[in-house]
Amino acid sequence: MASSANNNTSAIKIHEKCLIPPPNSSPQLSLPLTFFDLIWLRFHPVERIFFYSLPTPHSTLDSLLHQVLPTLKNSLSLTLQHFLPLAGTIVWPSDSNKPLIQYNVGDGVSLTVAESSEDLNHFLVNSPVEALDSRSLVPHLESSDSHASVISLQITLFPKSGFSIGISSHHAVLDGKSSIMFVKAWAYLCREGQLSNEESPRLAPELVPIFDKEAIKDPNGRDMMFINNWKQISSQLDPNNNDSSNGRTLKIMSSAFPPLVDDRVRSTFELTRGDLEKIRNRVLSNWDTTVDDEDVVVISSSTKQQPKLSTFLLTCAYVSVCIVKATDEEPKKRGDNNENKFMLGFTVDCRAKLDPPVHENYFGNCVAGHIVDAIKAEDFRKENALVIVAKKIYSKIRSVGTMEGALDGIETMFFRAAMMVKEGKKPIGVAGSARFGVYGIDFGWGKPEKVEITSVDRGITISMAESKDGSGGIQVGLVLNKHVMHLFNELFHAGLC
């Protein structure tokens, strides 16, 4: 029976909560967690929403409930037979010193089917909307001391408009590349099933996951280091937490990473290929003449070759400088001249950097987090801040280009970040990637109108995706205080003129 739940702006009617299992023939499975997985053991879930518009014949409530929804459910079950870990849970056996992923026959993925009275177009605009609004479209991911769900899904129907798919995924099982591989596989089987009427079409080779955990070597015992790190981080970020588990807990630290939605708005910005060229030219034209007290040497004096600046670097530098300047300006208008302190962090995909490299279809975590330590708070505010920040991000990216560099310092990264936060520094993170190709994910009714990383509302985080039109630009998502977002919008567009 349907029930209603309300947030500040929209009514959500829950039609169904169910468990979607893989086919009964799927075997039991147990997988260890590698040190790359354990880095993220109690980190908040990564939350995404895919929005799809449908033509009128498919978007009536009757059609959504009796045609679209059953097709999505059936293809989800078929997909899970290829991605069994997602249907299981993270458990911590009493006789094991670390947790693992366990799938038993009968397990499945939690699916919520909801209906929204909100206009779908409300969520598709790039202009600011209340940050809270998207929260009703994202499912909760269960976790406790003894177990944690791997993934949770919500399909929200927008009668006469379309539907959305909200995904909450546990970061200790999936990194961004793996998460998007699963969604692409689901969409592929859903689409191909409609075209061919096959009961279980085969996955395309690039969508077949590889669960070879033995490929991740750990001669230094990093797995136990990260388990112990979470004990320390828990006590540092939440000193009032009465943890009686002696660190043997799988409970996500929601109190340390809550959604920050009060008085905040969510906006999307576009950097076209032309915009990125403007930023690149501005940085390169001042590259050699911009120095500070700890300038980073990045060009050989003998060759004087200009560095190749990636789209990722240019976006990080430009957007982070705009964020800091907007965040500084808002309190100044109230007469408060206290400057905020910031740090910038991002993750590095290590699949191709390991020795030997792991397969590009490796499913799990294979990313390491890094902080751009060289950036000082005042660097974001200097006259040539864009160039200074770009040079220091460039230096960090070069330093993590090898396996040794990519893994250097990862044992203490989260702890150092936690200490910086405790000291009053505000982290600026990065989520997503323009390489994931999220705007090509078609379930059979067309490509998404919008893809949002909802969990950027848990801090100051820059979400990235390729431009929807495929023109080579970048789509950036942010959640900021309303006044800060207004100032950011002005700075962002003024800097591109």
Which domains can be identified in the chain, with CATH numbers? 3-237 (3.30.559.10), 264-494 (3.30.559.10)
Structure tokens at 410: 């990862």
Catalytic pick among 171, 175, 328, 457: 171
Strands 460-466 and 425-432: parallel
Q: What is the pLDDT of residue 332?
A: 65
| Distance of alpha carbon 85 from alpha carbon 89, whole angstroms | 7
328 has catalytic annotation: no
Report long-range pairs for 444-449 (Cβ below 8 Å, ≥24 apart). Answer: 444/71, 444/187, 444/190, 444/191, 444/194, 444/195, 445/52, 445/54, 445/58, 445/68, 445/162, 446/52, 446/53, 446/54, 448/50, 448/51, 448/52, 449/51, 449/52, 449/53, 449/120, 449/124, 449/162
What local confidence, expressed as pLDDT, does residue 5 receive? 38
Q: What's the residue count for the chain? A: 497
Give the model confidence (pLDDT) of 120-148 as tens digits: 999 999 999 999 999 999 999 999 999 99
373 is catalytic: no
pLDDT at 241: 59
Q: Give the DSSP letter of residue 355.
A: S
Sign, CA dihedral 114-179-119-258, equals positive
H or E stretch including 53?
A: strand 46-53
Residue-level pLDDT at 55: 87
Q: Tell me which of 421 and 387 has the higher pLDDT.
A: 387
Edge to edge, what strands does the sheet with 129-130 contain? 129-130, 264-271, 474-481, 460-466, 425-432, 341-349, 367-371
pLDDT > 90 fraction of the chain, expressed in percent and rounded: 78
From start to end of 209-340, where are the E strands?
264-271
Contact 271, 315 (CB under 8 A): yes
What 3-state class would DSSP assign to 118?
coil
Is the confidence at residue 76, as pLDDT, over 80? yes
Distance of CA 64 to the CA centre of its chain: 28
Top pLDDT among 245 and 352 is at: 352
CB 263 within 8 A of CB 130: no
Average pLDDT over every residue of 270-286 = 97
> What pTM was computed for the model?
0.94
Q: Report percent pLDDT > 70 for the chain.
A: 91
pLDDT in tens, 281-333: 999 999 998 765 554 444 433 346 789 999 999 999 999 999 999 999 876 66
Mean pLDDT confidence for 57-84: 94
Q: What is the mean pLDDT of the chain?
A: 91
List 243, 292, 442, 483, catalytic entry: 442
Question: Per-residue pLDDT for 95 more than 60?
Answer: yes
Per-residue CA distances from 289 to 176, 260, 278, 364 (Å): 37, 40, 18, 43
pLDDT at 111 (0 to 100) = 98
Which residue would you say has higher pLDDT here, 465 or 237?
Answer: 465
In angstroms, what is the C-alpha Rg of the chain? 23
Tens digits of residue pLDDT in 5-60: 334 445 899 999 999 999 987 889 999 999 999 999 999 999 999 999 998 888 89
> Which is more confident, 356 or 335?
356
Tell me the average pLDDT across 79-96: 96
Query: Per-residue pLDDT tens for 155-196?
Result: 999 999 999 999 999 999 999 999 999 999 999 999 998 877
Specify burial of residue 79 (Cβ count, 10 A radius: 0-12, 13-18, 19+).
buried
Residue 480 · residue 462 · CB < 8 Å:
no
Q: Which of 39-48, 85-94, 196-205, 213-222 has the lowest mean pLDDT?
A: 196-205
CA distance 211 to 88: 14
Nearest Cα neighbor of 31 from 199, 233, 173 is 173
Is pLDDT at 448 greater than 70 in this prediction? yes
